[in-house]
């Protein structure tokens, strides 16, 4: 019985992963036509701004990726991590989906495990094993774009997790398995 259950779980996980790969490329394929991919951020905690051409000439631009990683560091500890490059691509496509290439306001990018554990104890809605701690998640808003519209666009992409926090005026997107809350 246990072996059958494990096989079924393995099959379902594999099938959902394959489905995500089939759906996501359709949405993400639009970005391959671009010579450049640009993202603009304003970090609400540090006050820093960044315009980054993180993709040019058919490849990622290492200096710009490093600048993005630094901007999205854990603002409590100063710790920087290499963010998932797919997250940047997801944010780029999300702007195309909503038809607005403005400046993302960053509520939370990378979180060190220490910061995440502290937030998990003191704040509701913080996952113990958050993808923020692996550089695969970001909490954002896009001024000039209705938050509900931004959420709906992220859900249509089916490229990862989407959380909706209207009372705090942000959405969460990540490059984990497609899911929503």
φ/ψ of residue 173, rounded to 5: -130, 145
What pLDDT does 12 receive?
A: 43
Q: Record the tokens describing residue 87, joined without a space.
A: 């997250």
- How far CA 107 is from CA of 1, 25, 98, 142, in Å, comes to 45, 27, 20, 11
- CA dist 181 and 178 (Å) reads 11
Q: Is 81 within 8 Å of 19 (Cβ atoms)? A: no
Which residues fall within 8 angstroms of residue 135, CB to CB, at 6 or more apart? 69, 72, 81, 82, 83, 84, 87, 110
What pLDDT does 15 receive?
A: 43
**Residue at token pair 């910061």:** 115
pTM: 0.81
104 in helix, strand or coil? strand
- CA dist 122 and 146 (Å) reads 29
Q: Is 104 within 8 Å of 42 (Cβ atoms)? A: yes
In Å, how far from its chain's centre is CA 79?
18
What are the pLDDT tens digits along the chain (181 aa)? 555 555 554 444 444 444 444 445 555 555 555 689 999 999 999 999 999 999 999 999 999 999 999 999 999 999 999 999 999 999 999 999 999 989 999 999 999 999 998 888 888 778 888 999 999 999 999 999 999 999 999 999 999 999 999 999 999 999 999 999 9
- CA dist 3 and 69 (Å) reads 42
- CA dist 127 and 134 (Å) reads 12
What pLDDT does 30 receive?
A: 56
């Amino acid at each position: 019985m246990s072996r059958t259950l494990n096989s079924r779980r393995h099959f379902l996980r594999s099938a959902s992963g394959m489905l995500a790969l089939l759906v996501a490329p359709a949405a993400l394929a639009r970005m391959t036509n671009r010579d450049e991919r640009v993202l603009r951020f304003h970090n609400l905690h540090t006050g820093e701004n960044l315009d980054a051409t993180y993709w040019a000439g058919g490849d990622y631009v290492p200096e710009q990726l490093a600048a993005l990683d630094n901007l999205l560091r854990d603002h409590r500890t100063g710790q920087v991590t290499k963010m998932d490059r797919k997250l940047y691509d997801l944010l780029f496509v999300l702007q195309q989906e909503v038809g607005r290439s403005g400046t993302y306001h960053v509520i939370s990018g990378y979180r060190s495990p220490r910061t995440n554990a502290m937030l998990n104890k003191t704040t509701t809605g913080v996952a113990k094993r958050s993808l923020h701690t692996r550089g695969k998640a970001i909490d954002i808003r896009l001024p000039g774009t209705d938050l509900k519209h931004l959420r709906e666009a992220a859900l249509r992409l089916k490229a990862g997790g989407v959380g909706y926090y209207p009372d705090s005026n942000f959405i969460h997107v990540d490059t984990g398995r497609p899911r929503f809350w």
